[in-house]
């Protein structure tokens, strides 16, 4: 970036400043303190909470002092990723910004436009003397990328506005008006075992590893609508088929990598009384079934293989193995319901991702991520999992609960943003929900408990490749978004 572009576009100046200050998740204190100093130097009211989240208030400009106040919100932390072998320290080194045509990116690292661009817009507004705006309450949170800890801890009772503009969306001209809530669950199934030596006719048994591969996986919220294969579910079907056809016991299971990722590879070690050729013949049938079922999704390369496995002393009892496989077959997975309120898109309302299977000591643990934009439906899906656990004598644990932001058909911000976008750029914006979590959900729940009805909307410029070294910010989109934000605030300010 050059100084000339920064002088013309104040938000780019502040974005470059932000990129010079370390702000990795859970290590945002230096940037948080910078914001306090920024506000104090401009004689703005500022509050820094124990976590490091910031609230800065600025009065409305002349003639707009009594207009409805507006909350502008984003997060200050970034996901720090760098290229393998790159000599770069996120705790002290400034990001090296590179402009190539319309794209702004960082050399060898993630850019942090998610969500540094929101903070840049906020600072440009707070620093300005000539941009008309109503009273502003700027809220900048920490730890959004690692569980939204800053928003969770933030005291919303100190906020006075009923208009809440979040700037953590990443597609210009797409206005987000709802998000899903979520909850993680863990089903702990006791691993009842018996000695291998106790199994009759053990001379014909062999230890083999059955593995499902070749699936695409993806984000369990944003990409659940693509109906991609879930390797844990496919593995359960294969094991069920093998157990019906051959004498077969389970030694261990392992599948998936994270609760928010659709699993793309899973495996089980089995003790099976069958020749390898017999097993391969059976697996070939399953490969054909899966490729046919998933032909419109990601089934072209799905594969199920058998390989030698290390010997083990114990296997799951027949009763326990049946319970584990049955639970894996029955546990909810994929889309549970579609949203019928936001008709401009195909939006998943509720889903469950059967994310991971782990053999952990004396337990088999199933990990799930449940999402819904309707709280009662999230509870119902979790209850289904809990009832299944009760039926097989397993224990349940729940964690990471965060609330949904439900669609508000009476929003004033939505039509204002749509009308303003059309007037500025002569094209229609899109109104969508997102089947993933935003801080809006946490703030909406806080205001609900305070008995306050809020009007939320989330928007932002086009950011691609977030959380990777390929992250880029579209400069044209950033300018359009800046113009839109200023014009919306001007329209609200004229309500004085």
Active site residues: 77, 144
Say which DSSP state 135 is in: -
How many Cα atoms are found within 13 Å in the side-chain-facing hemisphere of 24?
13
For 19-52, b where at least 16 C-beta lie within 10 A, e where not — what string? bebbbbbebbeebbebbeebbeeeebebebbebb
Indicate the Cα dihedral angle 214, 219, 220, 222, nearest 10°. Answer: -130
Peptide bond between residue 60 and the one before it cis (omega within 30 degrees of 0): no
Torsion angles phi and psi, residue 298, rounded to 5: -135, 30
User: Do strands 348-360 and 248-255 pair parallel, antiparallel, or not at all (unpaired)?
Assistant: antiparallel
**DSSP-assigned beta bridge partners for residue 179:** 405, 434
> What is the spatial distance between Cα 210 and Cα 47, in angstroms, rounded to a whole number?
56
* 401 token code pair: 């609960």
> What is the spatial distance between Cα 190 and Cα 76, in angstroms, rounded to a whole number?
43
- Nearest Cα neighbor of 474 from 460, 465, 462, 459 is 462
Cα 361 to chain centroid distance, Å, stands at 30
Contact 356, 338 (CB under 8 A): no
Q: Given the structure tokens 């597609």, which residue do they identify?
A: 171
> What is the spatial distance between Cα 211 and Cα 232, in angstroms, rounded to a whole number?
10
> What is the spatial distance between Cα 474 and Cα 480, in angstroms, rounded to a whole number?
10
For 443-480, b where at least 16 C-beta lie within 10 A, e where not — what string? bbbbbeeeeeebbbbbbbbbbebbeebebbbbbebbbb
CA 296, 298, 300, 303 dihedral sign is negative
Cα 372 to chain centroid distance, Å, stands at 13
How buried is residue 63: exposed, middle or buried, by Cβ count under 10 Å (0-12/13-18/19+)? exposed
- Give the N- to C-terminal CA distance of the chain in Å, as an integer: 39
> What is the spatial distance between Cα 71 and Cα 114, in angstroms, rounded to a whole number?
19
Contact 312, 196 (CB under 8 A): yes
Q: Given the structure tokens 């070939």, which residue do they identify?
A: 284
Contact 246, 240 (CB under 8 A): no
């Amino acid at each position: 970036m050059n100084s000339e572009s920064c002088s013309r576009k104040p938000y780019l100046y502040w974005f470059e400043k932000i990129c010079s200050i370390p702000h990795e998740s859970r290590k945002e204190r230096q940037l948080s303190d910078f914001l306090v100093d920024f506000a104090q130097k401009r004689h703005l009211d500022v509050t820094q909470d124990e976590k490091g989240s910031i609230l800065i208030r600025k009065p409305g400009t002349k003639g707009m002092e009594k207009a409805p106040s507006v909350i502008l919100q984003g997060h200050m932390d970034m996901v720090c990723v760098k290229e393998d072998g790159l000599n770069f320290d996120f705790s002290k080194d400034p990001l090296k910004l590179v402009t190539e045509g319309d794209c702004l990116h960082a050399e060898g690292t993630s850019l942090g436009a998610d969500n540094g661009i929101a903070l840049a817009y906020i600072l440009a507004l707070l620093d300005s003397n000539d941009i008309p705006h109503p009273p502003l309450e700027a809220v900048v949170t920490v730890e959004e990328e690692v569980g939204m800890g800053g928003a969770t801890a933030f005291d919303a009772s100190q906020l006075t506005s009923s208009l809440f503009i979040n700037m953590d969306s990443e597609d210009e001209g797409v206005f987000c008006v709802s998000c899903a809530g979520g909850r993680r669950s863990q089903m702990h199934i006791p691993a009842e075992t018996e000695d291998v030596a106790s199994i009759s006719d053990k001379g014909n048994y062999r230890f083999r590893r059955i593995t499902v591969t070749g699936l695409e996986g993806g984000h369990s919220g944003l990409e659940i609508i693509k109906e991609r294969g879930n390797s844990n579910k496919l593995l359960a079907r294969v094991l069920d088929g093998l157990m019906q056809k051959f004498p077969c016991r389970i030694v261990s299971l392992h599948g998936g990598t994270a609760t928010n990722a659709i699993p793309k590879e899973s495996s089980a070690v089995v003790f099976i009384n069958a020749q390898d050729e017999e097993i391969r013949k059976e697996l070939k049938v399953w490969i054909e079934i899966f490729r046919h079922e998933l032909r419109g999704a990601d089934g072209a390369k799905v594969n199920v293989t058998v390989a030698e496995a290390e010997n083990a002393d114990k296997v799951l009892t027949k009763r326990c193995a049946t319970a584990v496989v049955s639970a894996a077959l029955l546990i909810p997975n994929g889309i549970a319901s579609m949203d019928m309120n936001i008709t401009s898109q195909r939006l998943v309302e509720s889903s469950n991702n059967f994310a991971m299977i782990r053999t952990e000591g004396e337990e088999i643990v199933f990990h799930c991520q449940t999402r819904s934009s309707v709280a009662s439906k999230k509870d119902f899906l979790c209850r289904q999992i809990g009832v299944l656990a009760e039926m097989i004598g397993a224990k349940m644990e729940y964690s990471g609960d965060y609330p949904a932001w439900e669609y508000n058909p009476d929003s004033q911000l939505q039509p204002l943003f749509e009308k303003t976008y059309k007037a500025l750029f002569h094209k229609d914006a899109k109104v969508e929900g997102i089947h993933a979590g935003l801080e809006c959900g946490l703030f909406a729940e806080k205001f609900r408990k305070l008995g306050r009805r809020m009007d939320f909307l989330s928007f932002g410029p086009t950011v691609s490749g977030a959380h990777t070294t390929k992250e880029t910010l579209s400069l044209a989109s950033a300018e359009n978004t800046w113009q839109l934000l200023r014009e919306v605030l001007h329209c609200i300010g004229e309500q004085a």
